Amino acid sequence: MSDLILPAVILLAIAGIVMAIRRLSKRARELAELCKNGRDIEGVLTDVRKVRRSRTDNNHYVRYTFKSSAGIDYSREMRVSEHEFSQYTQGQAIDIVYLPFNPSIHALKTLVDKTRQAMHQS
């Protein structure tokens, strides 16, 4: 029985890594699509919060919502840098980029702009 534990753990670790890579590559494809075909729209920050990870480390999150041109509400929570976090307040209007033909794909305009810059530099 113990001879099966190590291979099972290795298999589970590999499966987890593959799933993480797929998720990251999917988001990268979505960001590339937003850079090419995204439409700007105004959204609202509905939550701005800091989560303490340790005595010296925090994660910073924002949640935004926007209404697509079809009138449907969409939202997302994103982790942001401490610098970006310091510029946001709950209720603040914020620029979003979304795909008109698939509004469930969207991101903060600041993230899309950074991705556009990176794509042009490479």
Contacts with 55 (C-beta within 8 Å, 6 or more apart), sequence order: none
Count of domains forming the chain: 1
Mean pLDDT value across residues 100-108:
94
**Domain enclosing residue 91, as ranges:** 2-121
Mean pLDDT value across residues 55-73:
93
Report pLDDT for 105: 95
- Could you tell me the two tokens for 35? 């850079």
Give 6-33 pLDDT, tens digit per residue: 666 665 656 555 454 555 577 788 999 9
Residue 90 phi, psi dihedral angles, 5° rounding: -60, 135
- Could you tell me the two tokens for 117? 């810059």
Express as a percent the part of the chain with pLDDT over 70. 80
**What DSSP designation does 79 have?**
E
109-121 and 2-37 helices cross at what angle (nearest 10)? 90
Q: By the 8 A CB rule, do 60 and 79 touch?
A: yes
Mean pLDDT value across residues 37-54:
94
